[in-house]
Structure 1
Amino acid sequence: MVCYVNNIAQEVAENQSLTDLLAARGITEPRGLAVAVNDAVVPRAEWPTHAVQPHDRITIIRATQGG
Protein backbone atom coordinates (compact mmCIF):
# COMPACT_ATOMS: atom_id res chain seq x y z
CA MET A 1 0.00 0.00 0.00
CA VAL A 2 1.08 3.60 -0.45
CA CYS A 3 1.43 6.26 2.21
CA TYR A 4 3.26 9.58 2.15
CA VAL A 5 6.26 10.12 4.40
CA ASN A 6 7.33 13.76 4.51
CA ASN A 7 5.39 14.27 1.25
CA ILE A 8 7.12 11.41 -0.60
CA ALA A 9 5.10 8.39 -1.68
CA GLN A 10 6.32 5.20 0.04
CA GLU A 11 5.27 1.59 -0.41
CA VAL A 12 4.70 0.00 3.00
CA ALA A 13 3.34 -3.31 4.25
CA GLU A 14 -0.27 -3.50 5.38
CA ASN A 15 -0.78 -2.97 9.11
CA GLN A 16 2.80 -1.78 9.54
CA SER A 17 3.24 0.10 12.81
CA LEU A 18 4.86 3.51 13.05
CA THR A 19 7.74 1.89 14.95
CA ASP A 20 8.29 -0.56 12.07
CA LEU A 21 8.03 2.24 9.52
CA LEU A 22 10.69 4.26 11.34
CA ALA A 23 12.97 1.22 11.69
CA ALA A 24 12.63 0.52 7.95
CA ARG A 25 13.85 4.06 7.34
CA GLY A 26 16.85 3.47 9.62
CA ILE A 27 15.44 5.50 12.50
CA THR A 28 15.96 3.52 15.69
CA GLU A 29 16.62 6.33 18.20
CA PRO A 30 13.36 8.14 19.03
CA ARG A 31 15.01 10.86 21.13
CA GLY A 32 14.08 14.27 19.75
CA LEU A 33 11.65 12.76 17.26
CA ALA A 34 8.01 13.67 16.65
CA VAL A 35 5.63 11.86 14.32
CA ALA A 36 2.32 13.16 13.03
CA VAL A 37 -0.21 11.19 10.99
CA ASN A 38 -2.65 13.22 8.93
CA ASP A 39 -1.61 16.38 10.84
CA ALA A 40 -2.22 14.85 14.30
CA VAL A 41 0.77 14.15 16.55
CA VAL A 42 0.93 10.51 17.65
CA PRO A 43 2.34 10.05 21.17
CA ARG A 44 5.50 7.94 21.23
CA ALA A 45 3.81 5.34 23.46
CA GLU A 46 1.32 4.66 20.65
CA TRP A 47 3.89 4.19 17.85
CA PRO A 48 4.13 0.37 18.30
CA THR A 49 0.36 -0.06 18.00
CA HIS A 50 -0.52 2.69 15.53
CA ALA A 51 -1.03 0.92 12.18
CA VAL A 52 -0.29 2.89 9.03
CA GLN A 53 -3.32 3.10 6.73
CA PRO A 54 -3.41 3.55 2.95
CA HIS A 55 -2.76 7.15 1.89
CA ASP A 56 -1.79 8.30 5.40
CA ARG A 57 0.29 11.47 5.41
CA ILE A 58 3.11 10.87 7.90
CA THR A 59 5.38 13.69 8.98
CA ILE A 60 8.62 12.84 10.78
CA ILE A 61 10.39 15.72 12.52
CA ARG A 62 13.70 15.51 14.34
CA ALA A 63 14.58 18.32 16.72
CA THR A 64 17.96 19.91 16.19
CA GLN A 65 19.85 22.44 18.20
CA GLY A 66 21.73 25.45 17.11
CA GLY A 67 21.05 29.03 16.58
Structure 2
Amino acid sequence: MEITVNQKNYPVSESCSIEQLFAEVLQIPVQGIAVAINQTIISKTEWPERLLRDGDRLTIIKATQGG
Protein backbone atom coordinates (compact mmCIF):
# COMPACT_ATOMS: atom_id res chain seq x y z
CA MET A 1 0.00 0.00 0.00
CA GLU A 2 1.05 3.61 -0.36
CA ILE A 3 0.77 6.64 1.93
CA THR A 4 1.75 10.27 1.52
CA VAL A 5 3.98 12.02 4.05
CA ASN A 6 4.39 15.77 3.61
CA GLN A 7 3.49 15.43 -0.08
CA LYS A 8 5.94 12.55 -0.74
CA ASN A 9 4.69 9.01 -1.42
CA TYR A 10 6.00 5.99 0.49
CA PRO A 11 5.22 2.29 0.13
CA VAL A 12 4.46 0.65 3.50
CA SER A 13 3.23 -2.74 4.69
CA GLU A 14 -0.45 -3.32 5.48
CA SER A 15 0.34 -3.57 9.19
CA CYS A 16 2.49 -0.43 9.52
CA SER A 17 1.81 1.76 12.57
CA ILE A 18 2.81 5.39 12.93
CA GLU A 19 5.57 4.31 15.32
CA GLN A 20 6.90 1.78 12.77
CA LEU A 21 6.76 4.42 10.04
CA PHE A 22 9.20 6.63 11.94
CA ALA A 23 11.51 3.78 12.97
CA GLU A 24 11.61 1.67 9.81
CA VAL A 25 10.58 3.83 6.85
CA LEU A 26 11.43 7.45 7.60
CA GLN A 27 14.22 6.69 10.10
CA ILE A 28 13.92 10.02 11.88
CA PRO A 29 13.80 10.79 15.63
CA VAL A 30 10.34 11.44 17.06
CA GLN A 31 11.21 14.06 19.67
CA GLY A 32 9.39 17.33 19.05
CA ILE A 33 7.18 15.92 16.29
CA ALA A 34 3.42 16.13 15.81
CA VAL A 35 1.50 14.01 13.31
CA ALA A 36 -1.80 14.58 11.55
CA ILE A 37 -3.44 11.91 9.42
CA ASN A 38 -5.97 13.20 6.91
CA GLN A 39 -5.96 16.53 8.78
CA THR A 40 -6.64 14.98 12.22
CA ILE A 41 -3.95 15.28 14.92
CA ILE A 42 -2.97 11.88 16.33
CA SER A 43 -1.83 11.75 19.97
CA LYS A 44 1.65 10.31 20.47
CA THR A 45 0.17 7.70 22.83
CA GLU A 46 -1.81 6.30 19.86
CA TRP A 47 1.21 5.93 17.53
CA PRO A 48 2.10 2.31 18.44
CA GLU A 49 -1.44 1.06 17.76
CA ARG A 50 -2.68 3.37 14.99
CA LEU A 51 -2.29 1.43 11.76
CA LEU A 52 -1.91 3.35 8.53
CA ARG A 53 -4.35 2.79 5.67
CA ASP A 54 -3.80 2.89 1.94
CA GLY A 55 -4.05 6.48 0.75
CA ASP A 56 -3.56 8.11 4.17
CA ARG A 57 -2.10 11.61 3.96
CA LEU A 58 0.24 12.41 6.85
CA THR A 59 1.50 15.81 7.82
CA ILE A 60 4.56 15.79 10.07
CA ILE A 61 5.38 18.97 11.94
CA LYS A 62 8.68 19.38 13.77
CA ALA A 63 8.97 21.91 16.56
CA THR A 64 11.86 24.35 16.22
CA GLN A 65 13.38 26.86 18.58
CA GLY A 66 13.32 30.49 17.73
CA GLY A 67 12.21 33.87 18.82
Task: Return the TM-score normalized by structure 2.
Answer: 0.91
Tell me which amino acid in the other structure corresponds to 2:16.
Q
Query: Counterpart of 1:27 in 2: which secondary structure?
Result: coil
Q: Which residues of structure 1 form unaligned runs of 5+?
A: none
Q: Give, in angstroms, the shift of residue 32 of structure 1.
A: 1.1
Aligned to 2:47: 47
Query: Counterpart of 1:10 in 2: which secondary structure?
Result: strand
Q: Which segments of structure 1 move beyond 2 Å, counting only runs of 4 or more?
A: none
Query: Counterpart of 2:54 in 1: which secondary structure?
Result: coil
Structure 2 residue 28 is the aligned partner of structure 1 residue 27: yes
| CA distance in 1 between partners of 2:11 and 2:38 (Å) | 17
Q: Which residues of structure 2 form unaligned runs of 5+?
A: none
| CA distance in 2 between partners of 1:64 and 1:2 (Å) | 29
Q: Give, in angstroms, the shift of residue 66 of structure 1.
A: 1.4
Aligned to 1:60: 60
Task: Return the TM-score normalized by structure 1.
Answer: 0.91
- Aligned identity (percent) is 41
Aligned to 2:2: 2
